[in-house]
Chains A and B, each alone.
Chain A
Amino acid sequence: MTKATKVSGNIIRKHVTGVLRRIGRPPQESDVMRRILDLIYAFSLVLSAACLLAITGLVAIQVGARVLDKLLRLAGLTPMGWQVLSLPEIAGFLLAGASFLALGPTLKAGAHIRVTMLLRIVSPGLRTIIERAVLAVALAGSLYLAYAMANLVWGSWRFNDLSIGLLPIPLIWPQLPLVIGTFVLFVALLDEAVIHLRSGAFSFGGSEDALPE
């Protein structure tokens, strides 16, 4: 097993037991859907983290090359002049990819912030109603966002848009993760909507309201 799948396996186990405990059912072998969904979130989180590590790695290579050149100059030798081509542009692409790929898993972890102060004041029944209304808006919004990003990629593909830096990179490639990420967000919201309809609360409700102080 690769490290990545081991990591995802751990996260999935945590997710599965956590979610099922909250819904109040014993874990069932037949809950294939749950496993698939959690696998999707885990993979998209791992991909996102990989993007961030890639930024770190590319910058490390760039800075390392400068250190090498500095040493060569000090030794009176010719600098190598190595550079990571289009580093600023590629790092930006990786950042956009990382940000969008993590949207779904971040939602499932309760880490997308919102104001819950007023929800805590109102009666539990009213809170459930408001949260379902908010979910409906969020579902529509995320679907619209996924459509917007798909349209962006379609336009870049149709007109063969290229990046402006040293390397001519077709923009569809760095833009594709935005479509995937927003779609995973939509799926995660749908997932939460089902959980909310069954149990009356979000799966991450506990972690969100707790004040770890």
Chain B
Amino acid sequence: MDIVSLSFILLVILLLALAGGLWIALSLGLIGFVGMIAASGVAPYQVMSTAMWQSLTSWDLTALPMFVLMGEVLYRTRLSRDLFEGLAPWVQRLPGRLLHVSVFGSTVFAAVSGSSAATCATIGRIVLPELKRRGYDTSRAVGTLAGSGTIGLMIPPSIILIVYATATEQSVARLFIAGVLPGLMVAGLFSGFLMVWALLNPRLMPPADPPLPWARRLTATLRLLPVMGLILGVIGSIYAGLASATEAAAVGVLLSLALSAAQQSLSWGGFRDALFSATRTSCMICFILAGAAFLTAAMGYTGIPRNLAHWIGGFGLANWQLLMALTLFFVVMGCFLDGISMVVLTTSIVVPMVTAAGFDLIWFGIFIVLVVEMAQITPPVGFNLYVLQALTGRNILRVGLDALPLFLLLLVAVVLLAIFPQIALWLPATMLDV
């Protein structure tokens, strides 16, 4: 079968399976199975078991269930209420008010978590119920969180940047530093959007709190101390050399348990609920990751991503056209593959292409992260959408729609990065090349 008709058939099967309500992990597995039967002589079950095994026995991935558990524990403490009470008096004049907590929280948490789904799950668990309780628009809250979670990929540590660095022989240290400013820029774009949105939709915002006298503001602010202690503890464990970025997730669990013990806000029953809830959520995500890993291997056999990338390379495009074509390519692929798979499957072809075109590979790494961030929030395959469906019960298509403005802002970020490459390159050059 030729590759175009195979791609088309797989696409139709995927959409039918998802629309019919087949579980997402099984849907991905199904098209992996069909793809392998059609395009290779290898028994799918062997590849299926190896791919799933190798994808889940990953040290880096263990941070995900840890962070999910941390979120579940914190959700059952006073911490999220304290966080909002402490911040509320200071943001009353800021358009969008407490909606910014999603962006701000994700940006800070990104300094600990290398994954988008983990950022989304942890911050979402803490922030969403409180925003809802305070009467903020759910669509806006959910959409913002879907987008902000992706900042976890850009601000170091970042799993995707490590994968890219290994595949392209770039310095992880440089890429990490290069991600800082673009990460902050994306956070700034999201916050700016929230302000504009809030000004345009005053009726969707809850009424502002009455102004507090300064003394009450300060007492309210004191309630931020436990949160700040927690964040400093987790980040500090990394920078003091006590824990790796992966181990910091477990440190986060321990600190949040210690915090809830100190506040006496977590019963044995609450802990049990938190643990089982985290077990199920991480099982859901990991099963989809396993299905996606099998699909990735199957795609390796069918050669669809490889050939698509080749096809783009064949046009002999000018630099800006190449960049546009690659953005389009990754956005389309990103609808159906998870971000890391996309990078792994195509670097062999794409990197020589961009090297020949004279792009800086550190800069291109940041570009790749931006398009992978977009892939996290485009249906039908987008991990942040899955996390948020699990957290809120909203369908992934709905969440995808909620997140659409942030997807567009990520596109804006791509354009800005293309026009001003220094956004990525200035900091590493300043810090590492004295």
Q: Do chains A and B touch in the complex (CB under 8 A)?
A: yes
Q: Which residues of A contact B (CB under 8 A)?
A: 7, 11, 45, 48-49, 52-53, 55-56, 59-60, 62-63, 66-67, 70, 88-89, 91-96, 98-100, 102-103, 105-107, 109, 111-119, 130-131, 133-134, 137-138, 141-142, 144-145, 147-149, 151-152, 174-175, 178, 208, 210-213
Residues of chain A within 8 A of B29, CB atoms compared: 141, 145
Q: Is chain A's binding surface mostly helix, strand, loop or mixed? A: helix
Residues of chain B within 8 A of A174, CB atoms compared: 57
Compute how far the CA of A102 lies from the CA of B283 in the bound complex, rounded to whole angstroms.
Answer: 6
Residues of chain B within 8 A of A178, CB atoms compared: 49, 52-53
> B57–A96 contact, CB under 8 A?
yes
> A138–B22 contact, CB under 8 A?
yes
> B58–A92 contact, CB under 8 A?
yes
Contacting A at CB under 8 A, from B27-66, are: 29-30, 33, 44-46, 48-50, 52-53, 56-59, 61-62, 65-66
> B62–A55 contact, CB under 8 A?
yes
Q: In the complex, which of the residues B20, B21, B59 has the most CB atoms of chain A within 10 Å of its own CB atom? A: B21
Q: In the complex, which of the residues A70, A114, A208 has the most CB atoms of chain B within 10 Å of its own CB atom? A: A114
Number of A-B contacts (CB under 8 A): 199
Contact of B46 among A130, A145, A148 (CB under 8 A): A148
Contacting A at CB under 8 A, from B4-41, are: 17-26, 29-30, 33
Given contacts A96-B56, A99-B287, contact A116 B65 (CB under 8 A): no
Interface size on B, residues (CB 8 A): 69
Compute how far the CA of A11 lies from the CA of B276 in the bound complex, rounded to whole angstroms.
Answer: 10
> A91–B26 contact, CB under 8 A?
no
Residues of chain A within 8 A of B241, CB atoms compared: 66, 70
Is B354 engaged at the interface, CB distance under 8 Å to the other chain? no
| Distance (whole angstroms) from the CB of A59 to the closest CB of chain B | 4
Residues of chain A within 8 A of B50, CB atoms compared: 152
> B49–A211 contact, CB under 8 A?
no
Given contacts A130-B21, A178-B53, A212-B392, contact A52 B242 (CB under 8 A): no
Compute how far the CA of A60 lies from the CA of B242 in the bound complex, rounded to whole angstroms.
Answer: 11
Is B290 engaged at the interface, CB distance under 8 Å to the other chain? yes
Additional A-B contact list (15), CB under 8 Å, known A56-B254, A112-B287, A137-B26: A49-B275, A55-B65, A59-B243, A59-B247, A92-B62, A95-B58, A98-B286, A100-B56, A102-B283, A106-B279, A106-B283, A114-B21, A130-B20, A151-B45, A178-B49
